[in-house]
Structure 1
């Protein structure tokens, strides 16, 4: 059941809204010939009507029970922000030029996560387009955009959105997003959109006026949970499922990244996430190109990835935090907060082999057992990274990895992620070692809400031992301005060398059959028994690579568990072309050899 306003052409527009507790619902037309037109009740609490004399860009709102004026919950555009009227959009007005686009197989994705507002000084969708060929030359083929659902003000990560169908006005709105997606497809790049189905932002959330979208049966960090399994939940589910299809159909989005699905509370026998997976797969069956769901889950629960026939949700992939945490602790030595559960080279080897590290073991940080085993998974089921918006922005001052490790450590991080069997994701600027922070920022208009956000940040940092007076003000413009990328850095020195290494690793990943394989059974990740050194053997048919990673900030001599044969060096992070100190490693190796690795370095050998 489609909701919101659907422009039908010839100045006719269909309106449908779910308001089961209301006795009257009308549309207030606020543009041109201002008027109020009553809608007719339909089954299951919907109100519906087709209005004449409504042209594209008409502004409107709903009148509930003859007195309460509210924007459309499924508004496609909020030109005046979260508190203003909604606007009718003629989606047929945009000329798509991606008729030849057939999408990409998920296992081929090289993802680049970005925040629209800080990716460029302009902070708009169209300002991203001139950078696409630069990303394409790097090897990126999938752009992941942080949430763009209309949020308060102009500065926000996007997770405070209150109009899930609306496109942020300050980013360029409907036309801007379509123009960006169209441009991406024309250069062979997929687009992933981050969507938030676990909560709504606190400012501009008018859903309470319409119906039981929320339930106090469960409490979340944001208050009452979205109603996915209580009375009236069918229509709530419809609202979100139609939203997913809306992005696929009208914006040609290739995949959705589902924010924090562990915060979706649903004890029903057929969970919403399962229903969403089914709707996505059904849409893909007849679509021009495939669509995917990529979940963010803190549960290490393989049900997210398992087929619906076996009781799973049937999602294509998920972010793998365990991989990030294992890598981060080895690189930085940090052990605060949730990092206390990580830090051993054996853990990174486990994650490299299977994704999850915690598969039912006791977690010190959680003070309970955590996770289950990722049975029947392959490399495409996990998205891995060394940095992302959460792991940077949820630090005290938004430090990137470039502020925490030296240049050799940055190269080592790149090698670990891009030589893994999983789908790699880069966070904007990572490829050249961007050192500008990415901090948490908002621009709310409610003083009480601003105070609450400030207090929440203080409480969040207590577990990391950070001082209250050192916490940046998320409402201030300074944290936003400091978070904008400094693109000019990548043109010289070590920044250019790091970008070149990323480019080479991505190309190697695509060209070498052993690295292109996502088959986890064709991989052996072996930790050294005494040093933080990882041996990675990947093979496919006749092709094979053997990589050695040294996470110690000192030289280490190790005996290699090298498979039989002749192995030729194809990449060494210590080479001068990557800004290294030079390498003494032999260009060719055979079994039963001992080598000395430079601090924070990696080397790759091939059997061809």
Structure 2
């Protein structure tokens, strides 16, 4: 085939779906604006007597895109790119499938080939939701999307409405958290690849569950990060390494790649929303920030599809503008994670007050985080050594825009041993914590296994293939925790397969005490939240917390309901503003006398007054 026969001069439409140019119809395209020569390498596409691989020259257009049209190529074709005179074939930066890992060739994948059964699905709103965070690789021993689908009945019985998958895009090795991904559009092959993700989403929709996906645009993992070889995708540094080039020269295609990737997850995998990892690490000085641009395009797609597509940000800024509408000067995110509430709950339940938890040792921290969202709201943070955050307008911003949680992957996994709260807190206190989260105006999030007080740890683990990187990760992890005062022997080897295996949920625990009791309580609390509108009412200005005994006794005022929590070890008499008429749910045996409720230690009661 001659060069003239392999070239197409079709211009690149910046707003088009990013599926174009990835070989489905024999069209290949890659952005490499500063390269002098780009070749497309095709594998196994010759005839029986032809070569196992061949190189096709590509032609550059005025926008820095290199293109080729190849007759006979299509779904199943494996390909890679050769840049200038470099002999190393590199995977497509926009690859949809990596069957041989992140260092191998890409494979053309046809999204249209999957048969969906969710045509009647209209989605679920985030307001009123209960979210369940799930890591595919440790949710089951098999660590696959198919195996996760076999456990969906548990989530339906629990009563959650949204499943939030931790990152599933391709990373090096078989096992890892997923935040070391290097190819944003390819589903991790050991999890089952793109069709396995679609099958899980389809199965979730069939059971009434929405599916959110955690995506990471703020950095790349350390192994297989070939993206910078193609173009100026990165500029400057953040906490994890090079920072995405969002506002420098040649940044328009970089931003477009992020937006197209987000839209493709939602459109082609039928996902119901995205969780955006650490958006504070996205350095962006444009007049229209990337997040505002992204939210505008996602809103347009949601309108076209006829279902909600919320974007949920993880942000360390405590900036309420994150969740304000664009027309009000905000970024248009539907919600954000609320670490202040987690930290306040953690200190109140465990008594730990080291590191960033020291800022939350004040007894007022928990009531403040429950009612005002941010404890640091233009106030001094001792951990940061400066003023931090800004106040939330609780008369205008609903609590449903903030996710509340007792635990999540970060707050467990970034501990040296990955130990869960249940290792340090008795079941009674765990159930009190669950009541505070699930009866609050915020959107509750449950981390997998939390609902039965799982004792399996969830430490950091990876399975990189480069020996030097393996040792570097080991040593880095040891140094990090040694600086925090941890004994080196307490830090699991993140590269030992046994560390990943230790994190796999032990499902047999759900049938044994005290785990079964905790699970029953979570189910009852979620059912009560769904049954009693006052418990899911997101209006912060109609919510109050009455605290006593140095913050050990808390009463949540939820319309005509009162949620009484005694975090102390001993029983306590709690005076209410009105006499209870009905006990709706309790983890202990409260005694009601007039307006007084005698609550046993480490227990809660939900009452109607």
TM-score interval for Structure 1 and Structure 2 normalised by the shorter chain:
over 0.9
Retained in 2: the 8 A contact 1:157–1:441? yes
Tell me which residue corresponds to 2:204: 184
Aligned-pair distance for 1:38? 2.5
Long gaps (5+) in structure 2: 1-13, 47-52
Q: Does the Cα contact within 8 Å between 1:3 and 1:16 map onto a contact in 2?
A: no
1:518 to 2:538 alignment:
yes
Distance 1:558 1:344, change over 3 A: farther
2: CA distance, partners of 1:258 / 1:107 = 18
Structure 2 vs 1, CA of residues 531 and 266 (structure 1 numbering), >3 Å: closer, same or farther?
Answer: closer
Structure 2 residue aligned with 1:490? 510
- For residue 107 of structure 1, give the secondary structure of its aligned residue in structure 2: coil
Match of 1:569 in 2: 583
Call closer, same or farther: CA 1:279–1:511 in 2, change over 3 Å.
same
1:166-199 CA-to-partner distances (Å, cap 9, x unmatched) read 1000000011111101100111100010000100
Structural RMSD (CA): 1.7
2:345 match? 327
Is the counterpart of residue 23 in structure 1 residue 29 in structure 2? Answer: no
Deviation (angstroms), 1:140: 1.3
Whole-angstrom CA distance in 1 between matches of 2:561 and 2:557? 6
Tell me the SS of whatever aligns to 1:97.
coil
Aligned to 1:550: 566
- Which one of the candidate residues 170, 174, 183 is aligned to 1:150? 170
Counterpart residue number, 1:579: none
How far apart are the structure 1 equivalents of 2:251 and 2:431?
48
CA contact (8 A) 2:590 2:605 kept: no
Structure 2 Cα separation of the partners of residues 316 and 584 of structure 1: 39
Deviation at 1:414, TM superposition (A): 1.2
The residue aligned with 1:49 is 68
Measured in 2, the distance between the counterparts of 1:26 and 1:556 equals: 75
Q: Distance in 1 between matches of 2:583 and 2:245?
A: 56
Q: Is the 8 A contact 2:363 2:550 kept in 1?
A: no
Once the two structures are superposed, the pairs formed by residues 243-262 of structure 1 within 5 Å of their partners are 243-262=261-280
TM-score by length of 2: 0.93
- State how far apart, in whole Å, the 1-side matches of 2:462 and 2:374 are: 33
Assess, with a 3 A threshold, how the Cα gap between structure 1 residues 469 and 584 changes in structure 2: closer, same or farther. closer
* Residues 1:58 and 2:86 are matched in the alignment: no
Contact 2:146 2:192 in 1 (8 A): yes
Taking structure 1 as reference, are residues 338 and 463 closer, same or farther at Cα in structure 2, changes over 3 Å only?
farther
In 2, distance between residues paired with 1:122 and 1:65?
42
Are 2:494 and 1:480 aligned? no
How far apart in 2 are the matches of 1:64 and 1:8? Answer: 18
**Deviations 1:316-370 (Å, cap 9, x if unpaired)?**
0000001110001000000111101113332111111121111011111111111
Structure-to-structure mapping, 1:158-197, within 5 angstroms: 158-197=178-217
Q: Does 2:58 match 1:39?
A: yes
2:283 aligns with 265
* TM-fit CA distance, 1:603: 1.0
Do 2:18 and 2:261's aligned partners in 1 also have CA atoms closer than 8 Å? no
How has the CA–CA distance of structure 1 residues 8 and 211 changed in structure 2, closer, same or farther, with 3 Å as cutoff? closer
Deviations 1:114-139 (A, max 9, x none): 11111011110010112111210110
User: Is contact 1:75-1:165 (8 Å) kept?
Assistant: yes
Deviation at 1:470, TM superposition (A): 2.2
Residue in 1 that maps onto 2:606? 604
Q: Is the contact made by 2:102 and 2:170 (CA closer than 8 Å) also made in structure 1?
A: yes
2:121 to 101, 114, 124: 101
Superposition deviation, residue 266 in structure 1: 1.3
Matched, 1:404 2:420: no
1:418 and 2:418 matched: no
Between the aligned partners of 1:465 and 1:422, the Cα distance in structure 2 is 35
TM-score w.r.t. the length of structure 1 is 0.93
Give the conservation status (yes or no) of the 8 Å contact 1:362–1:370: yes
User: Is the 8 Å Cα contact of residues 4 and 72 (structure 1) preserved in structure 2?
Assistant: no
Alpha-carbon shift at residue 569 of structure 1 (Å): 1.5
Q: Could you tell me whether the CA contact under 8 Å between 1:4 and 1:16 is conserved in 2? A: no
Quick one: distance in 2 between partners of 1:447 and 1:404?
36
Match of 1:345 in 2: 363
1:327-406 matches, cutoff 5 A: 327-375=345-393, 376-406=396-426
What is the CA distance between 1:288 and its match in structure 2? 3.4
Per the TM alignment, residue 455 of structure 1 is displaced from its structure 2 partner at its CA by: 3.0
When structure 1 is superposed on structure 2, of 220-229 and 64-73 the one drifting more is 64-73
Q: Give the secondary-structure state (helix, strand or coil) at the position aligned to 1:134.
A: helix
Measured against aligned partners, the alpha-carbon deviations of 1:553-577 in whole angstroms (never above 9, x if no partner) come to 23333333x1x46532111111xxx
CA distances 1:230-284 after superposition (whole Å, capped 9, x unpaired): 1111111011110000101110010100111111111222111111111111111
Shift of 1:530: 4.0
The equivalent residue for 2:591 is 585
Partner secondary structure for residue 345 of structure 1? coil
Shift of 1:531: 4.7
2:70 partner SS: strand
Q: 1:530 to 1:194 in 2, by over 3 A?
A: closer
| Aligned 8 A contact 1:147 1:157 in 2 | yes
Q: Aligned-pair distance for 1:113? A: 0.7
Cα distance in structure 2, aligned partners of 1:452 and 1:306: 41
**2-structure distance, mates of 1:285, 1:97:** 21
Instruction: Flag the 1:381–1:324 CA change in 2: closer, same or farther, 3 A.
Output: same
Q: Could you report, residue by residue, the CA deviation over 1:516-566 in whole angstroms, capped at 9, with x for unpaired residues? A: 211112211122264521111111xxxx21111122223333333x1x465
Number of aligned residues: 585
CA contact (8 A) 2:403 2:442 kept: yes
Q: Do the aligned residues in 2 keep the contact of 1:110 with 1:140 (CA within 8 Å)?
A: yes
